[in-house]
Amino acid sequence: MSPATTLKRRVKMREIAYLAGVAPATVDRVLNNRQHVGATTRQRVMQAKQALETGTQVVTSARPWRLKVFLPDDAGPSTEFLAACFQEFGSRGNATIECVFTKKMEPALLSRKLRACAGQGIDAVAFQALEDPLVHDAVAALAAHDIPALGLISGLGSANLIGLIGIDNRAAGRTAGYLMGRFTKQAGTIAVISGGQLYRAHEEREIGFRSCLQQNFPATNVVGTYCGYDDIEQTYEQTLRVIEAQTNLIGIYNVGAGNEGLIRALKKADVTDEIITIGHNLSARTKQYLLEGSMDIVMHQNMRLAASQAVTAMIAHLENRPFVADILPVEVITRENIAGITFG
Protein backbone atom coordinates (compact mmCIF):
# COMPACT_ATOMS: atom_id res chain seq x y z
CA MET A 1 0.00 0.00 0.00
CA SER A 2 1.38 3.39 -0.95
CA PRO A 3 2.12 5.85 1.91
CA ALA A 4 -0.04 8.34 0.05
CA THR A 5 -3.05 6.06 0.20
CA THR A 6 -5.80 7.40 2.48
CA LEU A 7 -7.81 4.79 4.33
CA LYS A 8 -11.50 5.48 4.72
CA ARG A 9 -13.37 4.20 7.75
CA ARG A 10 -17.06 3.47 7.90
CA VAL A 11 -18.85 6.30 9.68
CA LYS A 12 -22.30 6.40 11.23
CA MET A 13 -25.02 8.79 10.18
CA ARG A 14 -25.30 10.31 13.64
CA GLU A 15 -21.54 11.07 13.61
CA ILE A 16 -21.92 13.01 10.38
CA ALA A 17 -24.99 14.80 11.74
CA TYR A 18 -23.17 15.84 14.91
CA LEU A 19 -20.10 17.16 13.08
CA ALA A 20 -22.14 18.93 10.39
CA GLY A 21 -24.53 20.41 12.93
CA VAL A 22 -27.67 19.03 11.30
CA ALA A 23 -30.31 16.43 12.03
CA PRO A 24 -29.70 12.77 11.04
CA ALA A 25 -32.71 13.03 8.71
CA THR A 26 -30.91 15.77 6.81
CA VAL A 27 -27.81 13.59 6.44
CA ASP A 28 -30.02 10.82 5.07
CA ARG A 29 -31.51 13.18 2.47
CA VAL A 30 -28.07 14.40 1.38
CA LEU A 31 -26.49 10.95 1.12
CA ASN A 32 -29.46 9.65 -0.85
CA ASN A 33 -29.58 12.77 -3.04
CA ARG A 34 -33.12 13.70 -2.05
CA GLN A 35 -34.72 17.12 -2.43
CA HIS A 36 -35.36 19.93 0.07
CA VAL A 37 -31.76 20.38 1.23
CA GLY A 38 -29.98 23.69 0.68
CA ALA A 39 -26.61 23.86 -1.07
CA THR A 40 -24.84 25.10 2.05
CA THR A 41 -26.29 22.35 4.23
CA ARG A 42 -25.38 19.75 1.61
CA GLN A 43 -21.83 21.14 1.61
CA ARG A 44 -21.58 20.86 5.40
CA VAL A 45 -22.73 17.24 5.35
CA MET A 46 -20.30 16.15 2.63
CA GLN A 47 -17.40 17.96 4.31
CA ALA A 48 -18.21 16.28 7.62
CA LYS A 49 -18.48 12.86 5.96
CA GLN A 50 -15.12 13.26 4.26
CA ALA A 51 -13.46 14.49 7.44
CA LEU A 52 -14.72 11.53 9.45
CA GLU A 53 -13.76 9.00 6.78
CA THR A 54 -10.22 10.32 6.36
CA GLY A 55 -9.48 11.72 9.81
CA THR A 56 -8.90 15.22 8.43
CA GLN A 57 -10.30 18.51 9.72
CA VAL A 58 -13.54 19.95 8.42
CA VAL A 59 -12.96 22.78 5.98
CA THR A 60 -15.06 25.66 7.31
CA SER A 61 -15.72 27.38 4.01
CA ALA A 62 -19.48 27.26 4.29
CA ARG A 63 -21.25 30.58 4.83
CA PRO A 64 -22.60 31.56 8.27
CA TRP A 65 -26.06 30.47 9.34
CA ARG A 66 -28.73 32.89 8.12
CA LEU A 67 -31.41 33.57 10.73
CA LYS A 68 -34.58 35.54 9.98
CA VAL A 69 -36.95 37.07 12.54
CA PHE A 70 -40.50 38.24 11.78
CA LEU A 71 -42.26 40.73 14.07
CA PRO A 72 -45.58 42.57 13.64
CA ASP A 73 -45.34 46.21 12.63
CA ASP A 74 -47.09 49.00 14.52
CA ALA A 75 -47.41 46.74 17.58
CA GLY A 76 -46.11 49.15 20.19
CA PRO A 77 -42.80 50.26 21.70
CA SER A 78 -41.97 46.90 23.30
CA THR A 79 -42.04 45.14 19.92
CA GLU A 80 -39.97 47.95 18.41
CA PHE A 81 -37.43 47.51 21.22
CA LEU A 82 -37.36 43.74 20.62
CA ALA A 83 -36.62 44.36 16.94
CA ALA A 84 -33.86 46.80 17.89
CA CYS A 85 -32.28 44.10 20.06
CA PHE A 86 -32.17 41.66 17.13
CA GLN A 87 -30.81 44.36 14.82
CA GLU A 88 -28.21 45.30 17.42
CA PHE A 89 -26.93 41.73 17.44
CA GLY A 90 -26.55 41.80 13.64
CA SER A 91 -24.43 38.71 13.85
CA ARG A 92 -23.49 36.30 16.59
CA GLY A 93 -20.99 33.49 16.35
CA ASN A 94 -21.39 31.72 13.03
CA ALA A 95 -24.70 33.41 12.20
CA THR A 96 -26.15 36.57 10.69
CA ILE A 97 -29.51 37.88 11.87
CA GLU A 98 -32.12 39.74 9.85
CA CYS A 99 -35.19 41.19 11.56
CA VAL A 100 -38.12 42.31 9.40
CA PHE A 101 -41.60 43.63 10.13
CA THR A 102 -44.77 42.21 8.65
CA LYS A 103 -48.27 43.66 8.81
CA LYS A 104 -49.86 42.68 12.11
CA MET A 105 -52.93 40.47 12.36
CA GLU A 106 -52.51 39.26 8.75
CA PRO A 107 -52.01 35.47 8.88
CA ALA A 108 -52.10 35.08 5.09
CA LEU A 109 -49.26 37.57 4.67
CA LEU A 110 -47.22 36.06 7.51
CA SER A 111 -47.75 32.62 5.97
CA ARG A 112 -46.44 33.77 2.59
CA LYS A 113 -43.37 35.38 4.14
CA LEU A 114 -42.57 32.24 6.13
CA ARG A 115 -42.92 30.03 3.05
CA ALA A 116 -40.68 32.36 1.04
CA CYS A 117 -37.79 31.61 3.40
CA ALA A 118 -37.42 28.18 1.78
CA GLY A 119 -36.19 29.84 -1.41
CA GLN A 120 -34.02 32.51 0.21
CA GLY A 121 -31.29 30.41 1.76
CA ILE A 122 -32.63 31.02 5.28
CA ASP A 123 -31.48 28.42 7.80
CA ALA A 124 -33.88 29.15 10.69
CA VAL A 125 -36.73 31.53 11.51
CA ALA A 126 -38.24 33.00 14.66
CA PHE A 127 -41.60 34.76 14.60
CA GLN A 128 -44.43 36.08 16.73
CA ALA A 129 -47.04 33.52 15.81
CA LEU A 130 -50.64 34.02 14.76
CA GLU A 131 -52.93 31.10 15.61
CA ASP A 132 -54.32 30.38 12.15
CA PRO A 133 -54.38 27.29 9.86
CA LEU A 134 -52.41 29.17 7.18
CA VAL A 135 -49.58 29.79 9.63
CA HIS A 136 -49.66 26.17 10.83
CA ASP A 137 -49.37 25.04 7.22
CA ALA A 138 -46.47 27.40 6.52
CA VAL A 139 -44.54 26.10 9.54
CA ALA A 140 -45.13 22.54 8.35
CA ALA A 141 -43.79 23.53 4.92
CA LEU A 142 -40.66 24.97 6.52
CA ALA A 143 -40.17 21.75 8.48
CA ALA A 144 -40.41 19.79 5.22
CA HIS A 145 -37.53 21.91 3.92
CA ASP A 146 -35.58 21.28 7.14
CA ILE A 147 -35.88 24.94 8.23
CA PRO A 148 -36.55 25.10 11.98
CA ALA A 149 -39.14 27.63 13.20
CA LEU A 150 -39.15 29.12 16.69
CA GLY A 151 -42.10 30.83 18.39
CA LEU A 152 -41.33 34.25 19.84
CA ILE A 153 -43.39 35.95 22.60
CA SER A 154 -46.58 34.27 21.33
CA GLY A 155 -46.51 30.64 20.27
CA LEU A 156 -48.45 28.20 18.15
CA GLY A 157 -50.11 24.88 18.88
CA SER A 158 -47.84 23.06 16.43
CA ALA A 159 -45.46 20.17 16.90
CA ASN A 160 -43.37 21.64 14.07
CA LEU A 161 -42.12 24.53 16.21
CA ILE A 162 -38.78 23.81 17.86
CA GLY A 163 -39.80 25.83 20.93
CA LEU A 164 -41.13 29.10 22.32
CA ILE A 165 -39.22 32.02 23.79
CA GLY A 166 -41.41 34.00 26.18
CA ILE A 167 -43.10 34.15 29.55
CA ASP A 168 -45.65 31.78 31.05
CA ASN A 169 -48.61 33.81 29.84
CA ARG A 170 -51.22 31.97 31.87
CA ALA A 171 -49.20 32.60 35.03
CA ALA A 172 -48.85 36.26 34.02
CA GLY A 173 -52.62 36.50 33.62
CA ARG A 174 -53.26 34.82 36.97
CA THR A 175 -50.80 37.18 38.63
CA ALA A 176 -52.60 40.15 37.07
CA GLY A 177 -55.92 38.71 38.30
CA TYR A 178 -54.61 38.24 41.82
CA LEU A 179 -53.25 41.77 41.95
CA MET A 180 -56.47 43.19 40.50
CA GLY A 181 -58.51 41.43 43.16
CA ARG A 182 -56.24 42.61 45.97
CA PHE A 183 -56.12 46.18 44.67
CA THR A 184 -59.87 46.61 44.11
CA LYS A 185 -61.01 44.83 47.31
CA GLN A 186 -64.68 45.21 46.41
CA ALA A 187 -67.47 43.84 44.29
CA GLY A 188 -67.63 45.40 40.87
CA THR A 189 -67.10 45.05 37.15
CA ILE A 190 -63.71 44.37 35.56
CA ALA A 191 -63.10 44.58 31.81
CA VAL A 192 -60.48 42.86 29.65
CA ILE A 193 -59.06 44.51 26.54
CA SER A 194 -57.43 42.03 24.17
CA GLY A 195 -55.03 42.58 21.30
CA GLY A 196 -56.93 40.15 19.10
CA GLN A 197 -58.06 36.54 18.88
CA LEU A 198 -55.02 35.44 16.86
CA TYR A 199 -52.43 35.68 19.64
CA ARG A 200 -52.23 32.58 21.82
CA ALA A 201 -50.29 34.64 24.39
CA HIS A 202 -53.21 37.05 24.81
CA GLU A 203 -55.68 34.19 25.05
CA GLU A 204 -53.62 32.51 27.78
CA ARG A 205 -53.28 35.76 29.74
CA GLU A 206 -57.02 36.32 29.66
CA ILE A 207 -57.76 32.72 30.69
CA GLY A 208 -55.38 33.03 33.63
CA PHE A 209 -56.80 36.41 34.64
CA ARG A 210 -60.41 35.25 34.58
CA SER A 211 -59.72 31.94 36.35
CA CYS A 212 -57.83 33.61 39.21
CA LEU A 213 -60.55 36.20 39.81
CA GLN A 214 -63.30 33.60 39.63
CA GLN A 215 -61.44 31.35 42.06
CA ASN A 216 -60.25 33.93 44.58
CA PHE A 217 -62.49 36.98 44.14
CA PRO A 218 -65.95 35.70 43.18
CA ALA A 219 -67.61 39.05 43.97
CA THR A 220 -65.99 40.58 40.90
CA ASN A 221 -67.68 40.37 37.51
CA VAL A 222 -65.35 40.07 34.51
CA VAL A 223 -67.29 41.22 31.46
CA GLY A 224 -66.85 40.15 27.84
CA THR A 225 -63.62 40.88 26.04
CA TYR A 226 -63.19 44.17 24.20
CA CYS A 227 -60.75 43.96 21.29
CA GLY A 228 -58.24 46.77 20.72
CA TYR A 229 -56.16 44.90 18.10
CA ASP A 230 -52.90 46.20 19.61
CA ASP A 231 -53.81 49.59 18.14
CA ILE A 232 -53.78 52.88 20.06
CA GLU A 233 -56.89 54.39 18.47
CA GLN A 234 -58.95 51.21 18.60
CA THR A 235 -57.96 50.65 22.23
CA TYR A 236 -58.98 54.24 22.96
CA GLU A 237 -62.40 53.71 21.37
CA GLN A 238 -62.92 50.37 23.11
CA THR A 239 -61.99 51.83 26.50
CA LEU A 240 -64.48 54.68 26.09
CA ARG A 241 -67.07 52.08 25.13
CA VAL A 242 -66.29 50.06 28.27
CA ILE A 243 -66.58 53.12 30.51
CA GLU A 244 -69.90 54.11 28.95
CA ALA A 245 -71.40 50.62 28.97
CA GLN A 246 -70.34 49.32 32.36
CA THR A 247 -71.64 50.69 35.62
CA ASN A 248 -69.53 50.14 38.73
CA LEU A 249 -66.39 49.61 36.62
CA ILE A 250 -63.50 49.09 39.04
CA GLY A 251 -60.72 47.66 36.88
CA ILE A 252 -59.36 47.21 33.35
CA TYR A 253 -56.75 44.65 32.27
CA ASN A 254 -55.11 45.28 28.89
CA VAL A 255 -53.45 42.05 27.79
CA GLY A 256 -51.70 43.53 24.73
CA ALA A 257 -50.44 46.81 23.30
CA GLY A 258 -52.32 50.10 22.93
CA ASN A 259 -51.76 51.34 26.49
CA GLU A 260 -51.55 54.92 25.23
CA GLY A 261 -55.13 54.69 23.97
CA LEU A 262 -56.29 53.11 27.23
CA ILE A 263 -54.88 55.88 29.41
CA ARG A 264 -56.03 58.64 27.06
CA ALA A 265 -59.59 57.34 27.33
CA LEU A 266 -59.43 57.11 31.12
CA LYS A 267 -58.18 60.69 31.29
CA LYS A 268 -60.87 61.91 28.90
CA ALA A 269 -63.54 60.31 31.10
CA ASP A 270 -61.77 61.61 34.22
CA VAL A 271 -61.75 58.19 35.91
CA THR A 272 -58.03 57.45 36.34
CA ASP A 273 -58.40 57.63 40.13
CA GLU A 274 -61.45 55.36 40.15
CA ILE A 275 -60.31 52.44 37.98
CA ILE A 276 -57.39 50.09 38.64
CA THR A 277 -55.44 49.53 35.41
CA ILE A 278 -52.99 46.74 34.66
CA GLY A 279 -51.09 46.46 31.38
CA HIS A 280 -48.10 44.73 29.83
CA ASN A 281 -44.53 45.71 28.93
CA LEU A 282 -42.55 48.59 30.33
CA SER A 283 -41.78 51.41 27.90
CA ALA A 284 -41.09 55.12 28.15
CA ARG A 285 -44.85 55.76 28.07
CA THR A 286 -45.94 53.10 30.55
CA LYS A 287 -43.16 54.25 32.88
CA GLN A 288 -44.63 57.74 32.77
CA TYR A 289 -48.14 56.37 33.38
CA LEU A 290 -46.91 54.51 36.46
CA LEU A 291 -45.13 57.57 37.82
CA GLU A 292 -48.14 59.86 37.34
CA GLY A 293 -50.53 57.26 38.77
CA SER A 294 -52.74 56.77 35.72
CA MET A 295 -51.61 53.12 35.46
CA ASP A 296 -51.19 50.94 38.53
CA ILE A 297 -49.21 47.87 37.42
CA VAL A 298 -47.16 46.82 34.40
CA MET A 299 -46.46 43.12 33.80
CA HIS A 300 -43.08 43.09 32.10
CA GLN A 301 -40.87 40.65 30.20
CA ASN A 302 -37.25 41.29 29.31
CA MET A 303 -37.14 41.74 25.54
CA ARG A 304 -33.34 41.83 25.34
CA LEU A 305 -33.20 38.45 27.06
CA ALA A 306 -35.91 37.15 24.71
CA ALA A 307 -33.90 38.17 21.65
CA SER A 308 -30.70 36.66 23.05
CA GLN A 309 -32.36 33.34 23.91
CA ALA A 310 -34.03 33.17 20.50
CA VAL A 311 -30.74 33.56 18.64
CA THR A 312 -28.99 31.07 20.92
CA ALA A 313 -31.81 28.53 20.51
CA MET A 314 -31.80 28.71 16.70
CA ILE A 315 -28.02 28.35 16.43
CA ALA A 316 -27.97 25.47 18.92
CA HIS A 317 -30.66 23.64 16.97
CA LEU A 318 -28.84 24.12 13.67
CA GLU A 319 -25.59 22.88 15.18
CA ASN A 320 -27.29 19.89 16.78
CA ARG A 321 -26.39 21.08 20.28
CA PRO A 322 -28.73 20.74 23.27
CA PHE A 323 -30.38 23.95 24.43
CA VAL A 324 -33.35 24.42 26.73
CA ALA A 325 -34.79 27.93 26.76
CA ASP A 326 -35.78 29.04 30.24
CA ILE A 327 -39.23 30.56 30.63
CA LEU A 328 -38.69 34.31 30.86
CA PRO A 329 -39.57 35.73 34.28
CA VAL A 330 -42.65 37.91 34.70
CA GLU A 331 -41.71 41.17 36.40
CA VAL A 332 -44.36 43.12 38.31
CA ILE A 333 -43.57 46.83 38.00
CA THR A 334 -45.20 49.62 40.01
CA ARG A 335 -44.26 53.26 40.57
CA GLU A 336 -42.49 52.17 43.78
CA ASN A 337 -39.96 49.77 42.19
CA ILE A 338 -39.46 51.35 38.78
CA ALA A 339 -36.16 53.07 39.59
CA GLY A 340 -33.26 51.46 37.75
CA ILE A 341 -35.42 49.11 35.68
CA THR A 342 -34.63 49.21 31.97
CA PHE A 343 -37.07 48.65 29.15
CA GLY A 344 -35.06 45.54 28.20
Q: What is the pLDDT of residue 96?
A: 92
Q: Which domain holds residue 284?
A: 169-300
In a domain, 174, yes or no: yes
Looking at the DSSP assignment, which residues form a beta bridge with residue 150? 126
Is the CB of residue 128 less than 8 Å from the CB of residue 99? no
3-state secondary structure of 102: strand
Do 295 and 180 fall into the same domain?
yes
Determine contact, residues 319/342, Cβ cutoff 8 Å: no
**238 and 279 belong to one structural domain:** yes
Would 28 be classed as within a structural domain? yes
CB 142 within 8 A of CB 70: no
Dump pLDDT digits (tens) for 225-283. 899 999 999 999 999 999 999 989 999 999 999 999 999 999 999 999 999 999 999 99
One-letter amino acid at 333 equals I
- 3 domain-assigned: no
- Output the domain CATH number for residue 270: 3.40.50.2300
CA distance 285 to 182: 25
Note whether 182 and 84 are same-domain residues: no
Residue 38 within any structural domain of the chain: yes
- Same-domain pairing of 146 and 258: no
What is the reported pLDDT for 78? 93
Residue 81 shares a structural domain with residue 46? no
- Integer Cα distance of 12 and 9 in angstroms: 10
* Cβ atoms of residues 150 and 124 within 8 Å: yes
Regions of the chain short of the pLDDT cut 50: 1-6
Into how many domains does the chain fold?
A: 3
201 burial via Cβ count (<10 Å: 0-12, 13-18, 19+)? buried
Q: Are residues 46 and 138 in the same domain?
A: no
- CA–CA distance, 77 with 283 (Å, rounded to integer): 6
DSSP code at position 167: B
In a domain, 1, yes or no: no
Residue 344 lies in a domain: no
Summarised one tens digit per residue, pLDDT across range 155-180 is 998 889 999 999 999 999 999 999 99
173/209 same-domain check: yes
Q: What is the pLDDT of residue 1?
A: 44
86 lies in a domain?
A: yes
- The reply to whether 307 falls in a domain is yes
Between CA 46 and CA 52 the distance in angstroms is 10
Q: What is the dihedral of CA 303, 309, 311, 313, to 10 degrees?
A: -150
Cα 94 to its chain centre, rounded Å, is 23
Q: How far apart are CA 127 and CA 164, in angstroms?
A: 10
DSSP 160: T
This prediction's pTM = 0.84
Distance, in Å, from the CA atom of 166 to the CA atom of 306, rounded to the nearest integer, reads 6
